[in-house]
Amino acid sequence: EAAGTSPVLRIVIDNLFYPVTLDVLQQIFSKFGTVMKIITFTKNNQFQALLQYSEPAHAQQAKQALDCQNIYNSCCTLHIDFSKLVNLNVKYNNDKSRDYTRPELPTGDGQHSLDSAMAAALRKDSSLLGALNPLSAAAVVAAGRVALAGQPGVLLVSNLNEEECMAQLAMSHLNGQKMYGNVIRVTLSKHQTVALPRDGLDVQGLTKDYANSPLHRFKKPGSKNFQNIFPPSATLHLSNIPQNVTEDDLQLLFTNTGGTVKAFKFFQDHKMALIQMSTVEEAIQALIDLHNYSMGGNQHLRVSFSKSSI
């Protein structure tokens, strides 16, 4: 059978800012026909999937409708081609592969998939899923793993950029990180917004509006900053460095945040650099202390987590 009439699609997902699960793929692609099997894998550092429909015509319709579309706004872009395969051989039903025609298949590790079980329970609530911008079962499952009960402090945060994938991204990147010796737990709130108190009522200073804060990196729609959001790591990216500032100046500045500088690298123009702290927690503290730090002459240091190490 020619590839162009195959019931199997090969799906590559770019800008994978948030994990895409089998259940998310199944719910999106099932709008165009019966999804029989899905296999996911990573190849060439790209998340990919093979998805088999019951009919080649369904695969054709899905490709026409979904190719180059985003699962979430601004991220998780689908690139779809026909596979040369005409049938997928699925051995296990787990988080990486699923044969919807054979629910009796083993998981491969002797345990039921937590994601699959919770997502299946939530699948009946189709209101969770939009056409291509779902508040996905994956997000709900990820949130379900987190419990705030017994924690000493709870913080509500509302994004200035009110796209769902940004809240998912913050939750994915920050949940479980350590700060000030404590582990951060992030989950979805039942509140849709953070209500600001009327003037004079917030005497304890518990609420703050950051919409116009100089710390904000995402004020401009379509900014390249949206393509440079990475999870916390020990390596920080520095930019907007004045020409007269030396490596020693920056190492001293970052050492004064209480951490240890393990490595440093200037880019060729010396306006940007990478600096590596000894731990992720130290890097988080340094970013908090030094992002938007005044370097004199109306220049402020920009600090963000790096996608690469030194």
How confident is the model over 15-39, as pLDDT tens digits? 887 778 898 899 899 999 999 999 9
Nearest to 263 by CA among 290, 227, 244, 236: 236
Its pTM stands at 0.52
Among 39-53, 100-114, 130-144, 170-184, where is mean pLDDT lowest?
130-144
Among 5-19, 114-128, 231-245, 256-270, where is mean pLDDT lowest?
114-128
Give yes or no for a contact between 10 and 17, defined as CB atoms under 8 angstroms apart: no
pLDDT band of residue 151 (cuts 50, 70, 90) is very low
Q: Stretch 119-138: mean pLDDT, rounded?
A: 37
What's the pLDDT score for residue 46? 85
Model confidence over 164-210: pLDDT tens digits?
Answer: 667 777 877 888 899 888 888 887 777 778 888 887 776 677 788 87
Residue whose structure tokens are 């997502």: 119
What's the pLDDT score for residue 33? 95
**Domains of the chain with CATH codes:** 3-128 (3.30.70.330), 230-305 (3.30.70.330)
Residue 130, pLDDT > 70, answer no
Q: DSSP secondary structure string, the chain?
A: --GGG-SEEEEEEES--S---HHHHHHHHGGGS-EEEEEEEEETTEEEEEEEESSHHHHHHHHHHHTT-EEETTEEEEEEEE-S-SS------SSSEEETT-TTS--SSSS--HHHHHHHHHHT-GGG--SSS---HHHHHHHHT---TT-S-------SS--HHHHHHHHHHHTT-EETTEE------S-SS-PPPPTTT-TT------TT-TT-S--STT-GGGG------SEEEEE---TT--HHHHHHHHHTTT--EEEEEE-TTSS-EEEEESSHHHHHHHHHHHTTEE-STT-EEEEEE-SS--
Among 1-5, 105-109, 162-166, 175-179, where is mean pLDDT lowest?
1-5
Look at 276 and 186; give whichever has higher pLDDT: 276
What's the pLDDT score for residue 301? 96
Residue 116, pLDDT > 90, answer no
